[in-house]
Amino acid sequence: MKVIEISNLNKIYNETIIPVHAVNNLSLEINEGEFTAIVGPSGCGKTTLLNMVGGLDKPSSGSIQIQGEDITAYSASRLTQLRLWNIGFVFQAYNLIPVLTAFENVEFIMQLQNKSKSERYERTMELLEAVGLKDKKDVRPSRLSGGQQQRVAVARALASKPKFILADEPTANLDSTSTETLLNIMEELNLKENITFIFSTHDKRVMDKARRIIRLEDGRIIEDQGIIH
């Protein structure tokens, strides 16, 4: 089942001055349950592509369909709702809310969804257990290691029960042990719960785990290995 369908996508920065073609006529399909890495050198358009798929940025032309609906014409508030209910984000810099504990960070997104207290508690504990941080639930991000913070970020991304997770360079700031742990957790969630993961990375360790690798260069796909139909 297609989760994302991208057709003839373009993103041009500085269109009127010195145009920069960050994404160039790109077409792509992502199916449910994929564990996909988008790779390429810096500036090849990985983050721009993820931002547009996540509704954080508007394409210059082309379409992005999420579960059959074109999101390029969505208003800002509709995109916010789309992100809240359908997309999980994992960022390179973890981006946890520093004043909240690990538990509260995971729970927060469900509060935005107005889920009941008991449901929030159950899901948060379940996710913290899944990422191996149940015992750190009352600890604030500043007291967690980088790897632990990123695991909390993964738990937060999953809390809203999204259709897919967009992870922008999730291992860039992690040491090898933390990277290994994080990747194993995400792989397990992908395999057991069929959650779709899309990474942007140039980390070899992520590429090794990914079952599909899309290679970008100058905003175009130059290689797509392991596509699942």
Partner 1 sequence: MILKIAWKNIWRNKLRSSVVLFAVTIGLVAGIFAVGVMRGALLQRVDSAIHNEVSSMLLHNSAYLSNNESIYTLSNADTILSFLQQQDEVVGACKRLKVEAMINSGRGPRGIILNGIIPEEERLVTRIAGSLVDSSSSYFDKDMRYTPILLSSVLAEKLKVKINSKVQVDAISKSGNSAQDVFKVIGLYKTENSLFDEMNAFIPYQNMAELLEFQMSEAHEIAVLTKNIMEVDSLTYFIQKQFGEQALSSELSGEHLSIQTWKESAPDLEITTLYIDLMLYIFVGIILLALGFGIINTMLMVILERTHEIGMLLSIGMTRLKIYMMVMLETILLSLTGGLAGIIISHFIISYYSNAGINLDFAKEGFNAIGYSSFIYPTIDWLSYVQVTFMVIITGILSALYPAWRAIRLNPSEALRTE
Give the residues lining the site for partner 1 (CB under 8 A).
Answer: 51, 54, 56-57, 76-77, 80-81, 83-85, 89, 91, 93, 95, 97-100, 104, 107-109, 111-113, 156-157, 160
Q: How far apart are CB 8 and partner 1 at their closest, in Å? A: 21
Choose between 84 and 191: whose C-beta lies nearer to partner 1. 84
Q: CB of 157: closest distance to partner 1 in angstroms?
A: 8
**DSSP string covering 85-153:** HHEEEE-TT----TTS-HHHHHHHHHHHTT--HHHHHHHHHHHHHHTT-GGGTT--GGGS-HHHHHHHH
Question: From the CB of 82, what's the least distance to partner 1, in Å?
Answer: 8
What is the distance of C-alpha 143 from the center of its chain?
A: 24
Question: Least distance in Å: CB of 125 to partner 1?
Answer: 17
Q: Which is nearer to partner 1, 127 or 213 (CB)?
A: 127
By beta-carbon proximity to partner 1, the closer residue of 171 and 209 is 171
Burial pattern 122-145, b for ≥16 Cβ within 10 A else e, equals: ebbeebbebbebeebbeebbeebe
Name the β-bridge partners of 167.
90, 199
In the complex with partner 1, the residue whose CB is nearer, 18 or 76, is 76
* CB closer to partner 1 out of 106 and 213: 106
**Cβ 16 vs Cβ 61: under 8 Å:** no
Shortest Å distance, C-beta 31 to partner 1? 24
